[in-house]
Structure formats: structure tokens, C-alpha cells
Chains A and B, each alone.
Chain A
Amino acid sequence: MSAVETDEAPAPTEPRPPVRQRPRRRPVLWASLAAGVVLAVLIAVFASAQPASEVLANSPLLGNTAPSISGAGLAGGHYSLGQFRHEWVLVNFMATWCEPCQEEMPQLLKFTKQHARAGDATVLTVVYDPSDVGQLKAYLAARSARWPAVNDPAASVPYGVTGLPSSFLVAPDGIVYAYMPGGVTAAELDSYIQQGAAKGLGPA
């Protein structure tokens, strides 16, 4: 039932048919080469692409006024971003179910401890997930995190949060100075503050 090929190689030992004279017009050749070029470009693009989760978006907020945040404090009281105009504020969106947020916590503790005396910088934790309020409160209390934590999940929208944790360093004049997605270190924060101080953005 084989489909008979009328051009089988004449000699059984020759694995390839005799070379034919090429036809003059060769559209398949040109089309294939063109396709090859396009594919080569595509492969180069894929090879140089970073994993999607690591692509850091630039925040549109940099250099602009930090959007306002206000809400009930987790440990009582009421907080708003405007209260902290005289110092550097690290606006930190987090949730207890986010592992990198938990990994970042020791750095935040270190940072606040270092600046506690000078009183020139603080952390403001913002609750990201409304259903996480109770757990976050307990979590912060368990770690003796004494900085303010505010229940304002709606703030994630004007801040353009695209993942957790997301931190925004707000200068004393209310402008967003730095954007650090994916976890901060105390050293990084200190260097930003020093840079800012050199430009005259010290606490008023």
C-alpha cells in the first residue's frame, strides 16, 4: 500500500538522489531566508528577555507629590501621610501572606532602630489586603514593630502597587524620592536619605 515514488534512488546504496539542476526562480529560498532572519531576531529578543517577574517597572510617581494616605491605625488612633511632613517616610505596602514581606521585616526593624534617636525617618506600613488587618496587627505586635500602621487598602491604587512588598521613600517635602519594589534593605534606605540630605531635603 505504499505510495509509489517514481523517482526512487536508482542505486540502492546511494542514500541521496542525484543532484538536480536548480530551477532559476527560487521563491521558497528567499521566503525561507526571510523567515529565518525574522526568527533569528525573535530568538535574540527572547534570549535577552528577563523573566517577567523581575522586570522592574518605573513608578510614574517619582518626583511627584506622594498621594495621600489616611485611615485608622492598627494599634489605635488615626494616621495620615500629611502628619509626617517633617521627616522621611517609608510607605510600605505589605501583607502577612506574602513571603518576601516577611523577609524584609528585619531590615525595617533595623532601619527604624537606627533612626529612632534622630527622629528623622519612620516607616508607615499600609495594609494591602482588607481581610489581612487582624493578622497584620498581630504580626507587627509580635515583632515589636512600633511604627505606625494604617488601614487604607485603597491607597494601593494611586500608588500604583504592582506587587508585594512595595515601598516608596517619601522625602520630608512630600515628594516621592525612591521606589523600591520587592524588598528593601536598611543600607539602601540610608544611602537614599544621605543623597537627599546632600540635596537639601533634610527634615524641616
Chain B
Amino acid sequence: MVAAERKKWLPALWAVLAVCVGLSLAVGSGAIGTGHGKPPSLYQRTLQVAGEYRCPVCAGESVAASQAPEAVEIRQLVEHWLQEGDSQATIRSFLVHDYGLSILERPPASGVTVLVWVLPVVAGTVAITGLGLGFVRWRRATVLGSLPEEGVAIAQPTAPRSEGGARSAHRLRQRVTLVAGAALVVLAGALWLVDRSSSARLPGATITGGLSGVNAELQEASAITASDPTEALALYDDVLSDDPDQPVALTAEGWIYAQAGVVPEAISLLGKAESADPGYDLPHLYRALVLLDDQGQTVPAARELSWYLAHGPDPAMVKVAREALAQAQATRSQGAPGPTNKSASSAKKLPTKR
């Protein structure tokens, strides 16, 4: 009696509970905190940001956790940058610029490392699909009565039935083809994902690794650019022979030519880099500097510089770009061809930030 009454109220009770939970979660969502209303202190924010970076000299501790001298230095720098108002992305670019990608605790989702994020999701999907298919098959089999309800060892047929044999052999082939096809699709998808995000430019001008060795070549070329530009050019040419639209190689070659004084070649390469990758900011900056320096074309230079400054510039180059822009505008207003600006043209590609 009591049970029947309770049964009547059940749906209502569940509805109440659902509403209660939904409401509470809605109210409770928001910045994580214990509701005392205080915003996190600078120290807390520093530790939160620092926790995303690995202590470079420790075995496996984060910068937030480690007491090693260098970790302490990095924490002090992070605090300083946070005080100056730098965003987390900017801080990330500074640290990656100094240490390379291995300082990130969370592997970047680009290049081959995207697999570490994607594979678990793929495995999970495969598992759930397999489970679902299994349940469907089981359900069908039990309903049709072809399977006993208790676990029984597979009955051993004395000889395969001929007509059943042909049908099931065909079904087996179908299944194998299906599975092999699905596996190929997944593999192709993963490879495409990896390739698409390889050789991407990350903040700090580091290039993610892909399946090819482009990254290594680009790094090697970049390392010897200052000391041996001819050799660097040869390496970049190698890269471009495989991939004529590699924006980083095009830009670097353009800059080498610009420094060597071969201006038309420089401008054409930089233009190609811009069209190959419209989102890449460096070619715009270099092109602007070349235009300003050697050809005194202040109007297009100013345009490029404005574009550069508006599109998330490398924080280290902001000062240079602003100076050049100011100079271009000043020269334009004076109406005379721009004089060469030694400071802008002697700016190297990757100045450091302290």
C-alpha cells in the first residue's frame, strides 16, 4: 500500500530533485572560489600561471612547485609580467621563446603532439561504438533466442554447414573490410590532423614539429643565418623545394636577401610569404622595414606596420614596429623620401625580452 503511494510520487520527486540540482549548478557555476568575494591575489595568479610550466632544471616539478633557483627566477618574472599586465598568451610566448616547447606542461595541440589529445578521444569513441554494437548484437541474438541466457562455452560444431558456411564467410569478409576501412579512415584522419597543424608558428616564433623533418631543417637554418647566410639560404632552398609555400622559409630568405641588399628579391619573397600564409605576421613587418629602409615608400610601409601592430605582434618587436611607424608617418608628413633607419634594419629576427 505504502509502496504504491510512493510509486505515485516518484516522478514528482525526481522532477523536484532534477530542478534542484540544475538550479544549484547554475547558481554555483562561475569562477572557482569559496565565495568570500576576494579576487585572487597576485601571488595566487602567479602560481596559477607558473603551474603551466615545467621547471627546466628539475626532474618533473612545475615552476609553481619547485624551489630551484631558476624556478624562483621564473616565478619572479611571471609575477613581474602579470603586474605589467601581460596576458597569459604573451607570457607563454616569452617562456617558449627562451626554453622551447618542452617547458610547457600541457603539450601544444599542434603537429605530432596533437595526437596526445586526440588519441584518447578516438580510443574512447571506438570503445563506446564497440560496446554499442556489442549490445545491439547481443540484444538481437537473445531476442531471436539464438543465444542461451547463461554463459556457455561456444558449442563446437562437428563440421561447418556448407550453406551457412558460405554466408558466414561472406559476412566475415564484410566485417573485416568494414573494420579495416574504419581503421584506415581513422589513421588517415589522424595523419591529416597532424600534418595540418605541423609547422605551425607558435608564439615565440618556434615551429611545431610535424611528420617531416622540416622543423629540424628550419631550426638549423635559423641557427646559422647570422654566421653563414649562404649556407642558411641553401637550407631554406631545400625546404622550399619540398614545399614552395613554406611561409617561414620564404620569410627568412626574404630577410636574408634584404640584409644583403638584394631588395627586389627580398620584396618578392616576402610578398609570396604573405600570400602563402595571410595570418603570418613577420613578413608584413619585414616588408615594411625593407620598404621604409631602401625604397622610402612610406605609405605602403605604414600600412604594413599598422597591419602588423593590429594583428597580435610579437611583443618583442612591438617597440621596433612602433618606432618605424612613427618614423614613416613623420617622414610622410615632411614630404621627403625616408632616410635609412639604422635601428630598424639592424633589428634581428628574434630579439630577446627581459
Contact = CB atoms under 8 A, between A and B. Distances in A.
Contacts, number: 94
Interface string B191-217: 000000000000010100000000000
Nearest to B102: A57
For the residues of A in contact with B, the DSSP-based class is loop
Interface residues of B, number: 38
Interface stretch (B93-101, B240-248, B303-311): B93-101
Interface in A152-170: 153-154, 156-164
A59 B101 CA distance: 11
B172 A64 contact: no
B320 interface: no
Contact of A60 (B100, B156, B157): B100
A153 B226 contact: no
A143 interface: no
Interface of A: 20-21, 23-25, 52, 57-65, 67-68, 128-131, 153-154, 156-164, 171, 173, 175, 177, 196, 199, 201
B19 interface: no
A60 B349 CA distance: 12
A201 B228 CA distance: 10
B352 A57 contact: no
A156 B69 CA distance: 9
Contact of B100 (A20, A57, A64, A171): A57
A164 B168 CA distance: 66
Interface in B124-166: 154, 156-158, 160
A60 B227 contact: no
A122 B279 CA distance: 43
Contacts of B157: 21
Interface string B161-201: 00000001000100000000000000000000000000000
B100 A58 contact: yes
Given A23-B154, A24-B168, A158 B70 contact: no
B44 interface: no
B56 interface: yes
A199 B228 contact: yes
B49 to A, nearest CB: 14
A156 B168 CA distance: 68
A64 B69 contact: no
7 contacts: A58-B100, A62-B223, A64-B348, A128-B69, A158-B354, A171-B227, A173-B226
B206 A60 contact: yes
Interface string B326-354: 00000000000000000000001111111
Nearest to A34: B183
Contacts of B228: 199
A153 B348 CA distance: 25
Interface string B64-101: 00000110011011000000000000000000011110
B251 interface: no
Given A57-B102, A60-B98, A199-B228, A158 B74 contact: no
